Amino acid sequence: MGEEVNASEKDTIRAGINKYLSLVTFSHTIFAMPFAMIGFTMGVVKMENFDPMILVKVILCMIFARSAAMAFNRYLDRDIDAINPRTKQREIPSGKITERSALLFVVLNCLAFALTTFFINELCFFLSPIALAVILGYSYTKRFTALCHYVLGVGLGLAPVGAYLAVTASFDWIPVIIGLTVLTWVAGFDIIYSLQDDAFDQEHKLHSIPALVGRKNALRISTTSHIMSGIGMIITLILMRRDYPQVNLLGYIGAAIFLAMLIYQHTLVSENNLKRVNLAFMTTNGIASVVFGSMVILDFFI
């Protein structure tokens, strides 16, 4: 009997964890994490010192920050999600997670993020409110600007900069350029993802690039953003080659695969065919970020 109770409790706990993982779409953490690891690796090589605890803290900061941002987005959009056929089954509108629980989850993750930065270094701690303001503020932007996709890009673009700061407690241009590369990359694929809701956004006076300029022009803007991302990646590798001569062949192979994935995702979607949006959004971008990040980091040590 006792074993049955314990099994039931474990199932309840597991179900609760899965609900919150789904709330924050935890699998999407894969987008920015490899770029954060590049920033971290650059800092380690520059300082010639690897502290495994700093690595743990950086990963925790990434998890806490993104969890806070996504949960806040779901909390703020709960009424919108409830009337959108595509999103009405999300955790809050479907009643799987209460509004109060979601907001408490946001607060706890914000506090955990700030506390973790406190144990990294003073600069990261003092900058943590700015980082939180950016990633939480994104959720408001669709209410007043079609540039919301680029604000999201800024939030994820902070990852390599923050990871570099965690190790060195100083700024450098290369992590910033990597951050700009991430910004345009994220904005480009978020525009593609938002094509699904262009009619809904127009009807409910929500702002997005597809709702503002139509699908065809939105895809052109997405393509332009990804071209800018490709240029940023090439500039990054050139600068890294100058300051970090270890980065060579593997980094360029990783960049080539990354750019190939960007090109491929634009072949999957057209203004009249959105059936493969999720493939373009999740699969291609997940592969692109992991492969590029892994290849660059390997180049530092091989």
**What is the CATH number for 45?**
1.10.357.140
Structural domain contains residue 256: yes
165-211 pLDDT per residue, tens: 999 999 999 999 999 999 999 999 999 999 999 999 999 999 999 99
38-88 pLDDT per residue, tens: 999 999 999 999 999 999 999 999 999 999 999 999 999 999 999 999 888
Domain range for residue 42? Answer: 15-21+30-301
Query: 225: which residues sit within 8 A by CB, 6+ positions away?
Result: 184, 185, 187, 188, 191
Of 135, 131, 186, nearest in space to 163 by CA: 131
CA dist 126 → 105, 115, 169 (Å): 22, 11, 11
Structural domain contains residue 164: yes
Structural domain contains residue 155: yes
Number of domains in the chain: 1
Query: 227: which residues sit within 8 A by CB, 6+ positions away?
Result: none
Structural domain contains residue 140: yes
Rg (CA), the chain: 20
Structural domain contains residue 8: no
Q: Give CA 257 to chain center in angstroms.
A: 19
Query: 261: which residues sit within 8 A by CB, 6+ positions away?
Result: 284, 285, 287, 288, 291
What pTM was estimated for this model as a whole?
0.92
